[in-house]
Chains A and B, each alone.
Chain A
Amino acid sequence: MADLEILEILSPGIFTSIQDLGRYGYGRYGVAPSGALDSYALRIANLLVGNRPDQAGLEAMLLGPAIRALADIVVAVTGGNLQPRRNKQPIEMWRSHILKKDEILSFDSPLSGFRAYVAVGGGISVPPVMGSRSTNLSSGFGGLQGRTLEKNDTLSSENYFQHVKTDTRAFNAAWIPVYPNNWSLRVIWGPQDDHFPDESRDSFLGASYKMSSDSDRTGIRLQGPVIRQKPDMQTSIISEGVISGSVQIPGDGKPIIILGETVTGGYRKIATVISADLPLLGQIKPGDVVRFKAVSLAEAQCALAAVEEKVHKFEARLK
């Protein structure tokens, strides 16, 4: 089936890119996964429009884009509430809607959260690079020419017209996340927690950090109590692999939560955010307060199972 143009970007918003669930298997070549920071929101958005959960959609940050439909399509907006509009009229998030040819999807001011996800029935067709359509913005490949969207870009899709019948789907209201201004992130200690004295570990768990405005898709930078390694240790370690959720302590002692754009690093990692809480990392915004809570591997597994159960139950209901 040939791809057909379905979307025209009238204004790109401040930082809108094409993302799927990420590019895995290329870490040996120094290639980081990229992908939707709030993967939960993207998966649900895809399911709402009749896609597979791993198809590519749009990730918008803070101020969303304005997009004209070039055909009758079905869309769903999930994630942070950036106040989606259809022809200037508010539309409900976490449910599917028909966007008729020439209707415009736009966003107002942000109400909660940081990133919204737009899925389109049929998905966004761009050539996969290393098996993924995610945009790697730091190295400029994947997505649409390796960059954020710009005015006058047009996006295509495959079989979009087969999805229009999915326009009445809604996600369970009880499972829609609430995005606060105060976050508690669950972590598992390590791998280098033993490089920090007890006072530093206590201070890490006791502190209220503030997300700094110089954060980006590579990492959430935190302002707050400085964490020091043991006095006989150098500030850096021999470079090794990192994953999104790694909480790294650089030379200045201010924690950075690594997101999906980094593959290796030479700083100690005091703790790792658990998988169940990773989607939240995409919704924390500058100025928000972040606290850390240490949990066991068993608790982490339990929490992940709870998240996955929601996705699977919703998916099963659609069949």
Chain B
Amino acid sequence: MGDRSLLVELGDDISLAVNQKVQEVFSAIDRQRSKGILDLVPSYRSLLMIYDPLCISLDEIKAGIKDIWNNPDQSRLPQPQTVKIPVVYGGEYGPDLQLVAQYHNLTPREVIDFHTRPAYRVYMIGFTPGFPYLGEVLDAIATPRRETPRTLVPKGSVGIAQRQTGIYPVDSPGGWQIIGWTPVKLFDPLGKPPSHLVMGDRVQFHAITAQEASQWQT
């Protein structure tokens, strides 16, 4: 991709197997700490490697990848941490909860039950700082994006787009169906790391009241 990045594609679909492969290659390259690699952006099915073409050549980068390919060491993937995320569902906190319920002929309560059931995998962080793409949402509540995106989705909003769910860590425009809000701070520029969640983590949502949210200490 251009003259200073390489897109390493590891599959064609959104699946656990492909995403784990991305995570393995990403972790291994990260451990190599090669001079000249400026940034790594892992995503659902690929890893973008941004490099300084004055420090490292494309051939050297490819050789590094081949090395990893020939010496798989899946065992060195970090144990995924499970992160509990409290959510106030519905009302002003989740203006689209009703719509998602109607779309599937469910009650809002049932939507909440379905949404809090799986421990979602963090497939990638992207779009805005700290935004986790979580999957997969149960078919029973999978809902398309809004036709017209909102110009401002408040920070902390929890949304659904098809079989993905996610949390907006900063105020931003957005087209996902907003079903709730979390008081948990997902992005802190001064934090180490700055993102509360990283690729491979598991997220378990649970419902709390607005009263409980207001007393939440992060």
Residues of A within 8 A of B (CB): 24-33, 129-130, 136, 138-142, 146, 187-188, 190-191, 238-243, 245-246, 263-264, 269, 272-275, 297, 300-301, 304, 308
* Cα separation A29 to B199 with both chains bound (whole Å): 9
* Cα separation A304 to B2 with both chains bound (whole Å): 12
Contact B53 A29 (CB under 8 A): no
Q: List residues of B (24-53) whose CB comes within 8 Å of A's CBs.
A: 26, 38-48, 50, 53
Given contacts A138-B172, A245-B2, A246-B1, contact A24 B50 (CB under 8 A): yes
Contact A239 B3 (CB under 8 A): no
- Chain A residues with CB under 8 Å of B44's CB are 238-240
Contact B39 A264 (CB under 8 A): no
Which of B5, B43, B50: most chain A Cβ within 10 A? B43
Partner of B4, one of A241, A242, A275: A275
Q: List residues of B (106-160) whose CB comes within 8 Å of A's CBs.
A: 124-131, 133
Contact A243 B48 (CB under 8 A): yes
A-B contact pairs, 30 of them (CB 8 A): A24-B39, A24-B50, A25-B38, A26-B39, A28-B40, A29-B129, A30-B129, A30-B131, A30-B195, A130-B194, A139-B129, A139-B187, A188-B2, A190-B1, A191-B7, A238-B13, A238-B45, A239-B44, A239-B126, A239-B133, A241-B42, A242-B48, A243-B48, A246-B2, A263-B41, A264-B43, A275-B2, A275-B53, A304-B3, A304-B54
Contact A188 B3 (CB under 8 A): yes
Partner of B124, one of A138, A141, A239: A239
Residues of B within 8 A of A (CB): 1-5, 7, 13-14, 26, 38-48, 50, 53-54, 58, 124-131, 133, 169-170, 172, 187, 189-190, 193-195, 198-199
* Cα separation A146 to B133 with both chains bound (whole Å): 25
* Cα separation A29 to B125 with both chains bound (whole Å): 6
Contact A24 B38 (CB under 8 A): yes
* Cα separation A190 to B48 with both chains bound (whole Å): 13
Contact B53 A264 (CB under 8 A): no
Contact A30 B127 (CB under 8 A): yes
Partner of B40, one of A27, A130, A190, A272: A27
Q: Tell me the nearest residue of chain A to B38, going by C-beta.
A: A24
Partner of B193, one of A29, A240, A242: A29
